[in-house]
Amino acid sequence: MTEPARPGLVVVLAFVATLAGRFTLARVGLDVPVLNDVRVPLLLAVLMCLLLEAHRIGPRAAAGGYCLLPILGLHGYQVLSATWTPPGAVYGAMIGDLLAVVFMVVVYYTLAKWDRDHVTRITLCCFHAAAWVYFLAASTGRGHAAGGRWAALGGGPNVFVRIMVMGVLTSLYLYVRSGAKLRWLMPIPVFLFGAIASGSRGGLVALAITMLIALAVNRRKPRWDQLAKPAGLVLVMSIIVAVTAGPTIAGFVQSRFVEATVGQGYTSQRDVLFSWALRLFWQRPLFGTGINGFHAIANLGEGEAYVHNLPLSVAAEGGFVGLALLGLAWFALGHAYFRTPREQRSPEARTAAYGGIYIGATCLFSGDYFDARLMWILLVLAAVRPGAPPGTPLAGNIAYPWSRTST
């Protein structure tokens, strides 16, 4: 019996298009109309690959596919809110961002219908490779933000910390997937060093939130005989990294985390942004100000175009209706994920869920609607799985791909 075809290049292209974000050719000295935004050629390439492979997916429905509808509803409502934005609101670019998010989420949903665990496996491996690329690029000193905060490849420190923590999560995934081979744990202290060097307080708090959620939902009691070696290795590697590379960021950590945060209570104006968002929500509680209305009304400066908090941003610009759609989207994703019995949740689905939770937690402190794309994609990969082909009896003896011994 021939092995069924699996997605390959289209997954890598989708990941590159997703990670590239708003990267423009102007950053490398080029100016090409339309194609200047690299999302245009990349998303077109993804679409062409997906159309060429559509016959392999077939008419199969996706189990848990209903979770896609609230996501589409939320983003559709945000686009529609452009009809009631205040005078002076510039929303064209933001609508383009929202449509790009919808496109990428639909692409990953379609791929999940095909072979969810294989697609997630490739995506997680791409994240791991990207974490190394970003760390090595930042270690050269190029691309650092103001104050010495680590960043790389045109992305800011808040982007950098997300990639670093995804490197940590994928290291744990590869450790589990490889049958507990310790070499996959060795990068964890390196990526944690990068996360600290980013200076992103929100990114580190989001990591703590994710760890607390993981401990809360994991009902298995740890076996210390199994944890001794991996914990010892990570501890030794952490000491080595701290001794060798720690002094290079010691002064930065002292000024950023201790003096500015603890001593001076510096919040990067998040308290101002959050209070403005709440004020606008109470002024227009039902439908909000409309897309990008926050920037038009608050007028806090060019660098403060958005709230840096996803729920508050939706509340300010979408009102109660937007918040309801956001809550419904999260609920549907969680419902679809937990409908799969615990023993049938693959390592890929679990890792994608924790990755989505982490990105979602970072969206409480930084980023706009487009920056939440990784959250939606990872949570969709965690919740959606291939359904039975048409005509297949709903029997209990379904062979799940993660039950195989091969990798």
CA distance 202 to 204: 5
**For residue 115, what are the domain limits?**
65-386
What pLDDT score does 399 carry? 37
Per-residue pLDDT tens over the stretch 338-362: 998 887 789 999 999 999 999 999 9
Q: Is the pLDDT of residue 56 over 90?
A: no
- Give the total number of structural domains in the chain: 1
- Does 31 map to a domain? no
β-pair partners for 37? 24
- List CB contacts of 281: < 8 A, sequence separation 6 or more: 288, 312, 315, 316, 319
- List CB contacts of 89: < 8 A, sequence separation 6 or more: 289, 290, 291, 292, 293, 295, 296
- Does 208 map to a domain? yes
Per-residue pLDDT tens over the stretch 182-193: 999 999 999 999
Who has greater pLDDT, 129 or 42?
A: 129
Q: How confident is the model at residue 176 (pLDDT cuts 50, 70, 90)?
A: very high
- Does 403 map to a domain? no
- Does 120 map to a domain? yes
To 10 degrees, the CA torsion angle through 81, 83, 84, 88?
A: 110
- Does 42 map to a domain? no
What pLDDT score does 249 carry? 84
Q: Residue 331 phi/psi, 5° resolution?
A: -65, -45
- Does 59 map to a domain? no
Q: Once rounded to an integer, what is the mean pLDDT over residues 206-216? A: 93
- Does 221 map to a domain? yes
Per-residue pLDDT tens over the stretch 286-307: 999 999 888 888 777 665 678 8
CA distance 338 to 136: 38
Map tokens 């799940």 to a residue.
Answer: 400
Who has greater pLDDT, 230 or 327?
A: 327
Provide the 3-class DSSP secondary structure of residue 78: helix
CA distance 381 to 355: 10
The amino acid that residue 233 corresponds to is L
Who has greater pLDDT, 2 or 227?
A: 227
